[in-house]
Structure 1
Amino acid sequence: MKLNFYYSGIRGVEIPDKNLLGVFKPKVSDNNFEIEKLVWEALQNPIGTNKLDQEVKPGDKILILSDDNTRATPVDKILKVLLPYLHELGIKKEDIIILMAVGTHRPMNQRELVAKLGQRIVDEYKVVNHLWNKKEENIYYGKTSKGIEVWGNKLLREADYVIGLGHIVPHRVAGFSGGGKIAQPGVSTGKTTGETHWLSALVPGSEIMGKRDNPVREQIDESARLMGLNFIINVVQDLKGKVVGVFAGDFIAAHRAGCALAKEVYGVRIPKADIVITDSYPADIELWQAAKGIYSSELVVKENGYVILVTPCPEGVSKAHPEIEKFGYLSLEEVKKLVENKELQELSVAAHLVHVGRVIKEKAHGIMVCPNISDELKEKLGFIPAASVQEALSYALNKKGKDASIVVMLHAGEILPINN
């Protein structure tokens, strides 16, 4: 079988039919929903809370949290419905701020903001990036039940009402994206984000991915509540990015309903295999994001198998987190020692190292096909470098034998493997 990838700069691969167990990807919906209509219907039927006309009043300062350009959420289309609705309720343009919830990613540039929000909104409304590492921009909101100190953007406290916009896909750290994640880690500091991420590092992926209610999500929800998140509008999209559902309302109740649909869309029954070829689409900007393709493979690759990560990463490993290149991917015990010795203090990075390390250091081996990361750096990170997917597959077959089973996961950054 000849398989091509989404990336023009990466050649396809020929896979022996007798080895291939299947090519798997999220589902494509047959429905042709109008997103603006779905958003309006969701706003008129919020889950777990009142309609906005009972929640906000003229003169209120409204803060809208939007996910960034690493997410496929059609925020521009959501805002085309939400903003006029707010204006009908007496909210003026000058009383609305759109805060880009970049988490610990780099700030979005002007071109990216326009692509995400639309030129008119960037021109007519106040749009700002969350700056997670600027002390003067963030304040203390309190502690969660597990003692996590919640620090985040001060604009949430200054607002009368906070609305979060995002999408729901399977997520290694939180079970699913969306919901309260727009606040934590969306507009939190690295300290708070590190502590919630580190919690997830202590738990195998099989106990978190695709499970809405888990110990990490509990702390995320508590953080979001402390920070003052009032309302969410979350979308669920299919493989092609088409919106198949919109959920608005309380950030826990509405999110829980959205996760049920996301599990149907992204949940795919996949057999375990000796060799897993995984892309990272659509999380492709840098390895910090592209590692999502590795996370999902944890649930599919057999012990001592091989995971082949196929990704472009035009911005390399991570501009915001140089510690990844410094330490490389490691086992949980190795990262624990770095944290205990205070050699690695950024816990979100520590968690990231563990999530990838669980797969390519503890359970299996990793091979990377990426034109924008050097072979030397791939090896330093803990991957076996390969110039092409064909070369990577030949290497893995040589190691595992001519009868080794192969699974391919496309759109793997958003796939939820189900084995039973």
Structure 2
Amino acid sequence: MAQSPPPVLSEAEVRQWFATQVPLDDFRGKRVLLIIPDATRTAPLPLLFDALFHRLRPVVAQFDVLVALGTHPPLSETQICKLLGITEDERQKLFFQTGLFNHEWDREDRLLNLGTLTKDETSELSGGLLSLEVPVKINSRIKDYDTLLVLGPVFPHEVVGFSGGNKYFFPGIAGAEILNFFHWLGALITNHEIIGVKDTPVRRVVDRAASLIPVERRAITFAVAADASLHGLCYGTPEVAWNGAADLSSQIHIKRYPKPFKQVLSCAPPMYDELWVAGKCMYKLEPVVADSGELIIYAPHMHEVSIVHGRLIKEIGYHVRDYFTKQWDKFKDYPWGVLAHSTHVRGGGTFENGVERPRVQVTLASAISPEECAKINLGYRDPATINVESFADRENEGILLVRKAGEYLYRLG
């Protein structure tokens, strides 16, 4: 029998949790850098930020915010304020001393080299899949603070198993080398094998890289429902807080079905405005699509493949893992994180004797043109031809509708 999720917390209960579970002595007199997700994650950040700020502001020496963008596009200050629930008037008065920063992964002058993962280390951590030296770089702002405090949700994740915790450092505020390394490691293992698993080689890489950070680390992690209501919060080191929230996530975010579906309509929420993030609509549902079935990413609002990586994706297209591994000399010099994204969106399949056979058909129903879809090796469907409600309540026919895809994992069994 499936375990019932923990109850939803009221706003009063959330504020009481901060008042009792976040120890002031951990932050007293310290310069604190708060690390948060961008707008591509469901989270009640205005409530959480307000509760945290009023808890810590009286005792800290400094309190600034860094958005863990990874390689996502930067946010304007107005967008960061909206994300945190800060009004224009509050920015000028209550928060005038609070620095609001974006991570800058592609600026070498904004990165600090923490050291190197050796060939022996990467071989051991990856179970022998990869063996190479990997520089570990992180946003250089960390050296100006006494404590780095992560505030972010935990979900099943296609690269690391479950998101959150030290992932807010790597890749959240990291340099490209470590990011490319472990994303490709996840691709080699495959989304299907790694998603929703706590102990993974990629998580070990992330935790090992985080151990090199010479600044105290703390985290507030949480499990959140599709409507942004909270089921629970955890505080401690990133490892401890992540472990607790991942256990909650495994209760809340994994849905099981007895048999696969021949067609899935996976609706991308507005926060996924490019395929780089809307690919989650495939990652989380790939396990329940039948062989030769179709998954439709329905995103009428989506115009971009990727603002940052679009040119490269259009060069290589979307392909199964073995398309790259069996032609490695041709693709090895592309950023491995881009290759990993490609394989995750395309899903499982084979590449034999020059013929690629994906396990499922991935179709875009978005504002991306049919010509561009063909160029990147994905199917196209005009979103205007789709009546979402016509997919509802047809699971007994082998058709599944997911109204807000991308965060809940769907599995067989």
What TM-score do the two structures reach when normalised by structure 1?
0.82
Structure 2 residue 204 is matched with structure 1 residue 231: no
Alpha-carbon shift at residue 128 of structure 1 (Å): 0.9
Q: 1:389 to 1:32 in 2, by over 3 A?
A: same
- Are the counterparts in 2 of residues 167 and 236 from structure 1 also a CA contact under 8 Å? yes
Q: Secondary structure at the match of 1:230?
A: strand
- Are the counterparts in 2 of residues 282 and 411 from structure 1 also a CA contact under 8 Å? no
Structure 2 residue 277 is matched with structure 1 residue 272: no
Alpha-carbon shift at residue 376 of structure 1 (Å): 0.7
Match of 1:33 in 2: 9
Q: Secondary structure at the match of 1:88?
A: coil
The count of residues paired between Structure 1 and Structure 2 equals 376
- Are the counterparts in 2 of residues 281 and 412 from structure 1 also a CA contact under 8 Å? yes
Aligned residues with identical type, % of pairs? 25
What are structure 1's unaligned runs of at least 5 residues? 1-26, 394-402
Structure 2 residue 363 is matched with structure 1 residue 367: yes
1:130 alignment partner AA: H
Distance 1:77 1:293 in 2: 27
Match of 1:376 in 2: 371
Match of 1:15 in 2: none
**Cα offsets for 1:99-158 (capped at 9, x unmatched):** 111110010013311211213256441111111100100011123431432111011133
Q: Secondary structure at the match of 2:247?
A: helix
Distance 2:7 2:134 in 1: 43
Match of 1:24 in 2: none
Which shifted more, 305-314 or 152-161? 305-314
Match of 1:78 in 2: 48
Distance 2:240 2:115 in 1: 23
- Are the counterparts in 1 of residues 300 and 383 from structure 2 also a CA contact under 8 Å? no
Alpha-carbon shift at residue 391 of structure 1 (Å): 6.1
Alpha-carbon shift at residue 36 of structure 1 (Å): 5.8
Match of 2:103 in 1: 130
**Cα offsets for 1:28-78 (capped at 9, x unmatched):** 9795523463254256346xxxx341x3332x2211111111122222222
**Cα offsets for 1:77-97 (capped at 9, x unmatched):** 2221222222332x13xx222
- Are the counterparts in 2 of residues 284 and 312 from structure 1 also a CA contact under 8 Å? no
Match of 1:67 in 2: 37
- Are the counterparts in 2 of residues 339 and 345 from structure 1 also a CA contact under 8 Å? no
1:131 alignment partner AA: E
Match of 2:233 in 1: 246
Q: 1:111 to 1:312 in 2, by over 3 A?
A: farther
Match of 1:207 among 173, 176, 193: 193
1:88 alignment partner AA: P
Structure 2 residue 318 is matched with structure 1 residue 329: yes
Distance 2:148 2:221 in 1: 14
Q: 1:316 to 1:229 in 2, by over 3 A?
A: farther
2:112 alignment partner AA: I
1:115 alignment partner AA: K
2:81 alignment partner AA: V
After TM superposition, list the pairs within 5 Å mapping 1:351-362 onto structure 2. 351-359=340-348, 362=358
Q: Secondary structure at the match of 2:264?
A: strand
1:275 alignment partner AA: Q
- Are the counterparts in 2 of residues 281 and 311 from structure 1 also a CA contact under 8 Å? yes
Q: Secondary structure at the match of 1:412?
A: coil
Match of 2:305 in 1: 317
Structure 2 residue 67 is matched with structure 1 residue 97: no
2:145 alignment partner AA: A
Alpha-carbon shift at residue 315 of structure 1 (Å): 4.6
What are structure 2's unaligned runs of at least 5 residues? 123-132, 350-356, 389-395
After TM superposition, list the pairs within 5 Å mapping 1:44-59 onto structure 2. 44-45=20-21, 51-53=23-25, 55-58=26-29
Q: Secondary structure at the match of 1:125?
A: coil
Match of 2:127 in 1: none
Match of 2:112 among 126, 139, 150: 139
Alpha-carbon shift at residue 385 of structure 1 (Å): 1.1
Distance 2:181 2:15 in 1: 34
Match of 1:164 in 2: 150
Which shifted more, 350-359 or 275-284? 275-284
Which shifted more, 116-125 or 322-331? 116-125
Distance 1:214 1:388 in 2: 37
1:116 alignment partner AA: L
What TM-score do the two structures reach when normalised by structure 2?
0.83
Alpha-carbon shift at residue 264 of structure 1 (Å): 1.4
Which shifted more, 167-176 or 36-45? 36-45
RMSD: 2.7
- Are the counterparts in 1 of residues 77 and 100 from structure 2 also a CA contact under 8 Å? no
Alpha-carbon shift at residue 282 of structure 1 (Å): 5.7
Match of 2:295 in 1: 307
Q: Secondary structure at the match of 1:413?
A: coil
Match of 2:80 in 1: 113
Match of 2:404 among 387, 398, 411: 411
Distance 1:384 1:404 in 2: 23
Q: Secondary structure at the match of 2:55?
A: helix
Distance 1:225 1:183 in 2: 11
Alpha-carbon shift at residue 258 of structure 1 (Å): 0.8
Distance 1:123 1:72 in 2: 27
- Are the counterparts in 1 of residues 5 and 251 from structure 2 also a CA contact under 8 Å? no
Q: Secondary structure at the match of 1:329?
A: coil
